[in-house]
Structure 1
């Protein structure tokens, strides 16, 4: 669990779209311009156009359907040295189905950071079928992710050992030292295995890559759909390239005013809020339910629970298993079933499976590398390097905010970038975008990973007349495809340029 949450949750939030008629007000968004697709568009000189080819199957997986094509775009490794070394950014595309009314390309980022758009977009594309009528859907692996010089820091055995042996809420000096040393060891592994790219994987560089992709695709303006961490990436793009902003939607918004400790604080509030809502939904007093989980975690910390696989569920894995279903209300029954198994049988197969899903572990014990990329990008962005003493000082406040998740998140501030080999870029990201076209900022009141308050702050940071706030009164991480009202507003904005009134609420 880390600042923006796992991208799997963002994908789960893009269910079948329920289309409703929304009341629209305000101005029209500037139409996307694309060479050959709009009377106002014109070709923009830039990188060589992608050479689209049939996609190859990833290792252990299957190739996407015949409608998908893959390519790469070469971008500078160091954007301050445009004539220096380059890296290849991997792309995937499904062309617009109504070619006579095509508006251009729509670029996606589903979050993480560290999520592979090349892998995720084909699985999520059904949710964006209406947008695909007039837009080419384009996913990409940001630099440092998967097929775009993906960062790797550990092998599967080392990853398994860390999840099994490292206490993420240390209670003794020995556990604390092991926790900090493990964070430093992780960073050293990143430097050893991915040192050339590691200094260059920050969000600002990924945003610069997005503009190179826009130019390679021949689009005069960028149309973009960002979810979770993808909203931070979108806000950064808008700040760097306000004149190139076309139609942009940011859903499940990262607070641009929060530093690393602020993000942890926001998540303690957000996940506890979601947990309270979960208990209320099932008719249990939230305070009593929280107390029951705190006691369960205390017992697991003293004696891990068995599973049928022979692996044990320790406290850290238990916290991860509990947090995973809170990303979507649809998943709340899986938390009930997992806790019921522990209560009835004293075994934790279900809760461990939830933790494994979050941690990217398959049934053969292989781990994906999203957590590697996520940490590398986060630590390249954030200057702050909280110490163990500073994390320890946060514990009273964080326990008050969330008795279940607070200690985990407080310690996470120190362990994540402990003795990281690359300096961070900023305290907080810059998102001001004066002169940009209107950007839709969608926040959900019950969002656990990127609490609603961050959406209001993003809209303010983008600037008056740029950030247009849409409030979704509901649960879960991401509103498009979950709320018919939000889906209708977003579709009308992307397809017809209709900008909803700032402050619009979807019940």
Structure 2
């Protein structure tokens, strides 16, 4: 299963994006070719591929600006920059203001890892209208994602079964089943995408961004990273500190934690978000239809999940809502306060034996469209995480950690603890315990933390500031709910971010918005 802590693009269901064959993106020979001198051939954007999430071609922005797409050629293996190349899918909307006011390109990464920026940016485009007055808005499918040599593992029917499996085993037989399914999935990734798997690390994506910067014609990389995009931005700043322009990190991954520490922090984060949801529900004047008190709301949810473990209910025909699918659907709904009403509706229906809404939420988390096709967010998410993260966990190790995870979250503890086995028997060794984001000499980076963030807990923002180094990270706190802060609409947050990106005005470190 993808790590829900990092899957913002899937959680917000904007990865609306058929792999046109990742092999076609590999195999070019760049011998004697200067990739920094390549010219991008911007054209009208096609409809997103299945790997990007499917759907229709992006509609023009208000005012008629068309989205344009191009392909950037990058080395498959950055240790052999004259060797084979792959193509990275790019998208942009040109700046709306006067040409003499244009700063450059503002490159977005919306997280995951595994989210398609080509599909996500048009979905959020109007939210960044103020920033487009002085920047071309640009995003991309990182290597291994969507149309950028997208990793392919199992087919849609196999993925349906994969996401229906019992991911919180209660006995030895169920544990063996989970490990067997994990090995089968991982073997399919190696069989279908083995050539690209060693080359999807975050350090590879960061090098791609520096080549992108040069080809776009910018002296500095101006960057807006969200969720995992903050980790990618931090790694870029470490590798290329002198090339950092104006950068914002929002919904911040703690770069000092290993995968176990990160998952444990997310267990606490999702539990906090569930607590806040339950308190909000019972505070409403019209009453809460799913419980009489916050504890009653959580007890009834726990009871539902226990019942689903042995007796799934009808979901989206012909599939049934299992305990795992319901858990991922609940997690998905906690990414934004805007989704809380759907969680209430889904729980209310599930208590009456109808699991459709919770299953639709789960499908959104997992990148499944209504026609039953999956984006490649899960294969990409697992591939990038396993290439990045050195630890490999056994079932015995997970069992020993269950008490701590359950203490952090009675509801999500088992789910996140057993997610640690995702990289067991992976074909490629992990790179490090955690990313290096130290960036002495880099320009100021605005780091925005949300106190109610379930997926990237608030403490990660301070850890990122400290890890970036003195004089680099500038912390801004948003006292709110949901994953990330800028897209909450909070005027204080948006004012500070816009002021920095548009005018270069660095907020006072420690600024608090509520």
* TM > 0.5: yes
User: What residue in structure 2 maps to residue 179 of structure 1?
Assistant: 178
Cα distance in 1 between the residues matched to 2:224 and 2:214: 17
User: What residue in structure 2 maps to residue 328 of structure 1?
Assistant: 336
**SS at 2:487's partner residue?**
coil
Task: Work out whether 1:56 is the aligned partner of 2:46.
Answer: yes
**SS at 2:318's partner residue?**
coil
Deviation at 1:162, TM superposition (A): 1.8
Runs of 5+ consecutive residues of structure 1 not aligned to the other structure: 13-43
User: What residue in structure 2 maps to residue 358 of structure 1?
Assistant: 365
Taking the TM superposition and a 5 Å limit, the aligned residue runs for 1:156-235 are: 156-164=156-164, 166-235=165-234
Deviation at 1:45, TM superposition (A): 9.5
**Distance change (3 Å), C-alpha of 1:208 and 1:338:** same
Cα distance in 2 between the residues matched to 1:374 and 1:47: 31
Cα distance in 2 between the residues matched to 1:279 and 1:86: 50
Deviation at 1:341, TM superposition (A): 1.1
User: What residue in structure 2 maps to residue 454 of structure 1?
Assistant: 460
User: What residue in structure 1 maps to residue 6 of structure 2?
Assistant: 4
Cα distance in 2 between the residues matched to 1:162 and 1:46: 41
Cα distance in 2 between the residues matched to 1:360 and 1:11: 7
Comparing 303-312 with 436-445, greater Cα deviation is found at 303-312
Does structure 2 conserve the Cα–Cα contact (< 8 Å) formed by 1:10 and 1:478? no
User: What residue in structure 1 maps to residue 133 of structure 2?
Assistant: 133
Cα distance in 2 between the residues matched to 1:54 and 1:351: 36
User: What residue in structure 1 maps to residue 295 of structure 2?
Assistant: 287
Can you list the C-alpha shifts for 1:24-69, whole angstroms capped at 9, x where unaligned? Answer: xxxxxxxxxxxxxxxxxxxx99241312122222345322236111
Task: Work out whether 1:371 is the aligned partner of 2:370.
Answer: no
**Distance change (3 Å), C-alpha of 1:285 and 1:457:** farther
User: What residue in structure 2 maps to residue 255 of structure 1?
Assistant: 254
**SS at 2:451's partner residue?**
strand
Cα distance in 2 between the residues matched to 1:181 and 1:8: 25
Counterpart of 1:296 (choices 288, 300, 304) is 304
Does structure 2 conserve the Cα–Cα contact (< 8 Å) formed by 1:10 and 1:111? no
Cα distance in 2 between the residues matched to 1:407 and 1:481: 30
Does structure 1 conserve the Cα–Cα contact (< 8 Å) formed by 2:269 and 2:456? yes
Deviation at 1:287, TM superposition (A): 3.4
Higher relative CO (CA 8 A, sep ≥ 6), structure 1 or 2?
1
**SS at 1:46's partner residue?**
helix
Counterpart of 2:348 (choices 340, 354, 357) is 340
**SS at 1:427's partner residue?**
coil
Runs of 5+ consecutive residues of structure 2 not aligned to the other structure: 15-33, 283-291
Cα distance in 2 between the residues matched to 1:127 and 1:47: 33
User: What residue in structure 2 maps to residue 38 of structure 1?
Assistant: none
**SS at 1:327's partner residue?**
coil
Cα distance in 2 between the residues matched to 1:405 and 1:117: 28
User: What residue in structure 1 maps to residue 147 of structure 2?
Assistant: 147
Does structure 1 conserve the Cα–Cα contact (< 8 Å) formed by 2:7 and 2:114? no
Task: Work out whether 1:437 is the aligned partner of 2:436.
Answer: no
Cα distance in 2 between the residues matched to 1:285 and 1:236: 44
Deviation at 1:368, TM superposition (A): 1.4
Counterpart of 1:311 (choices 316, 319, 330) is 319
**SS at 1:430's partner residue?**
coil
**Distance change (3 Å), C-alpha of 1:296 and 1:120:** same
Comparing 378-387 with 96-105, greater Cα deviation is found at 96-105
Q: TM-score, normalised by structure 1?
A: 0.91
User: What residue in structure 2 maps to residue 124 of structure 1?
Assistant: 124
Cα distance in 2 between the residues matched to 1:67 and 1:352: 35
Counterpart of 1:421 (choices 415, 427, 437) is 427
Cα distance in 2 between the residues matched to 1:226 and 1:340: 36
Deviation at 1:307, TM superposition (A): 3.5
Deviation at 1:10, TM superposition (A): 5.3
Does structure 2 conserve the Cα–Cα contact (< 8 Å) formed by 1:10 and 1:228? no
Q: TM-score, normalised by structure 2?
A: 0.90
Deviation at 1:100, TM superposition (A): 2.5
Comparing 421-430 with 96-105, greater Cα deviation is found at 96-105
Does structure 1 conserve the Cα–Cα contact (< 8 Å) formed by 2:12 and 2:364? no
**SS at 1:234's partner residue?**
helix
Taking the TM superposition and a 5 Å limit, the aligned residue runs for 1:69-148 are: 69-98=68-97, 99-148=99-148
Does structure 2 conserve the Cα–Cα contact (< 8 Å) formed by 1:55 and 1:68? yes
| Aligned pairs, number | 473
Does structure 2 conserve the Cα–Cα contact (< 8 Å) formed by 1:226 and 1:250? yes
Cα distance in 1 between the residues matched to 2:158 and 2:179: 16
Deviation at 1:289, TM superposition (A): 2.7
Deviation at 1:178, TM superposition (A): 1.1
Does structure 2 conserve the Cα–Cα contact (< 8 Å) formed by 1:47 and 1:212? no
Comparing 209-218 with 358-367, greater Cα deviation is found at 358-367
What is the aligned-residue RMSD (CA, Å)? Answer: 1.5
Task: Work out whether 1:463 is the aligned partner of 2:469.
Answer: yes
